[in-house]
Structure formats: structure tokens, C-alpha cells
Amino acid sequence: MSSVLDKIQAPIKLSEASPEIIKAVQSAIGAKVDGICGVETILKFNAFKKAHSLGEPDYLGATTAKKLLEMLSSGVPILKISPVGLKLICDFEGCRLEAYKCPANVLTIGYGHTKGVKPGMKITKIQAEEFLRQDLAEFESAIASLVKVPLNQNQFDSLVSFTYNCGIEALRSSTLLKLLNAKDYKGAANQFLRWNKAGGKVMAGLTRRRQAEKSMFEKPVPQT
């Protein structure tokens, strides 16, 4: 499948690419490999591009193809959030079916969803769960792209929760990521606790969340 990416030169819209190209992209970004450019594939692909500053979303060009090939050849398994990690996020986010402003003064709805939210907006529980699924796909892909060292499931889950709450740009520019990619896992774990402010003020809820994420990051995964 890597050979089809080798041949990419002029940018093409991913949704208009051949099934073979889409399958190669899906393999690299950890999406379901079916050759169909659905919502999950687009979200993960654009998160991958954003994490690597690869320009306009939705389009696959030579530079993006080269970076995807690097992912394919790395041999690093691409993880998805576990039920335990999902519960951590849902417990802290809660689910609200009408738009509100979070402590950072950002319009929010559902399980902490912020894209396209407007004042007075209302959704159903099913829509909230769909937003959650879409957001998780984006953050899972970003972590797979940004983290260059092996992660166990607990470390991955804690980073998904952190990025879900703080954002991809926050993770990319963080000392946490810098230390993690230098294989300083202990130093990276200690960085979680620094991210407990909103609007310049320490928030009790954020402090609890960062403590929970740090504990999860440091918790060994039982050998099977």
C-alpha cells in the first residue's frame, strides 16, 4: 500500500482519491481500513495534517504522503482510547445538551464539544455521543502523530483526555510533549499538574482532572 503514496505528486482531495490510496492513508492514521473516505477518516487525516503543520485540510500532496509513509514504516502501533479512558473523559466533561460557556468562556455543548457551537444551540444525547466520537478520532490521531516514543494504553488514554480538554496546539507546544519525546516519562507525568488554570485562575475541577490524568499516565498496564 505504501507504493501508492510514493506516487502522490500534485495535491488531490482525499475524498476523491482511489480506494487504494484511501486504504494506505487509513493504515497510517489508525482509521478503519475500508477504502471509504468517511467522517472518521477525514477527521483523523486532518488532525494528522494539523499536528504536522501540513497545510490545507482535506488535501493529500507529496509532503503529506511522505509523512504518512514515515508513520507506516515506524512500526509503532496506533492506539485507540480504552473504555477506562473514555469514562475518565465523560466523567469530567459531563454531558449538557444545551450550549453553555465553559470556565474558559468558550461555547460548549455535549461532552465538551466546541466546534460550531452557537448560543442557544440544543442537541440530543445521540448527537452528543456522535460529537464525542468525532472529537476522539481527531485527538487520537493527533497523539499518534505528535508522540514519537512508545506508549502503553494508560499513557495514551491520559494524553487523549489532556488533549481533549486543552487542545492539540497546547499539547504540541508543551514541555510535557518535549519531555515525553525525550523519553523522560516521569518528567512528562509531572507536567500534567501545571495545566490547571482557566482565564489565569487555578480551577479546582482542572486540578482534579490533571491529577487523575497524571495517575493514569503513571499506572502500569498489567502484562497479559
* Same structural domain, 96 and 168: yes
Local confidence band at 1 (pLDDT 50, 70, 90 cut-offs): very low
- CATH code, domain with 198: 1.10.530.40
* Same structural domain, 107 and 149: yes
* Same structural domain, 151 and 70: no
On the CB side of 19, how many CA atoms lie within 13 Å of its CA? 4
The better pLDDT of the pair 203, 53 is held by 203
Domain total of the chain: 2
- Could you tell me the pTM of the whole model? 0.78
Amino acid 210: pLDDT: 98
* Same structural domain, 91 and 58: no
Domain residues for 20?
2-74
* Same structural domain, 137 and 35: no
Is residue 95 part of the annotated active site? The answer reads no
Instruction: Mark which of 34, 54, 74 sits at the end of a domain.
Output: 74
Using DSSP, state whether 31 is helix, strand or coil.
coil
Q: Among the options 37, 40, 93, 213, which is catalytic?
A: 93
C-beta separation of 111 from 128 below 8 A? yes
* Same structural domain, 96 and 165: yes
* Termini Cα distance of the chain: 31
Q: Among the options 70, 95, 98, 102, which is catalytic?
A: 102
Percent of the chain with pLDDT over 90: 74
> pLDDT tens digits for 176-195?
999 999 999 999 999 999 99
* Same structural domain, 57 and 92: no
Q: Is the pLDDT of residue 76 over 70?
A: no
Local confidence band at 75 (pLDDT 50, 70, 90 cut-offs): low
Cell of 215: 495517575
What's the burial of 72, exposed, middle or buried (CB within 10 Å: 0-12/13-18/19+)? middle
* Same structural domain, 13 and 124: no
In this structure, is residue 224 part of a structural domain? Answer: no
Amino acid 79: pLDDT: 86
Amino acid 213: pLDDT: 98
Is residue 16 part of the annotated active site? The answer reads no
Per DSSP, the residues of 155-166 read HHHHHHHHHHHH
Q: How many helices (H) and strands (E) does the chain have?
A: 11, 6
